[in-house]
């Protein structure tokens, strides 16, 4: 049973990583480590800026 629970948690974490669920927390860690004087945006501000940047610079997206 423990193996099944562990596998489900791993799959859930991996899916979250793939979808970007951990991006904000990694960004905050980066800011605090490398730019301690920088203001940390709220999660809402972070995603708003990220989506605006993706729309402004579509890169290799298909759509």
Q: What is the pLDDT at residue 52?
A: 94
> Which three-class secondary structure state does DSSP give residue 2?
helix
Which residue did the predictor score with more confidence, 10 or 45? Answer: 45
pTM of the predicted protein model? 0.64
In order, the DSSP letters of 19-51 are HTTTHHHHHHHHHHHH-TTSPPPPHHHHHHHHH
- Residues 21-61 pLDDT 10s: 789 999 999 999 999 999 999 999 999 999 899 888 877 76
């Amino acid at each position: 049973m423990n193996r099944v629970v562990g596998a489900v948690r791993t799959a859930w974490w991996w899916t979250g990583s793939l979808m970007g669920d951990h991006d904000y927390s990694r960004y905050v860690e980066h800011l605090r480590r490398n730019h301690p004087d920088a203001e940390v945006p709220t999660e809402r501000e972070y995603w708003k800026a990220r989506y605006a940047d993706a729309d402004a610079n579509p890169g290799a997206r298909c759509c």
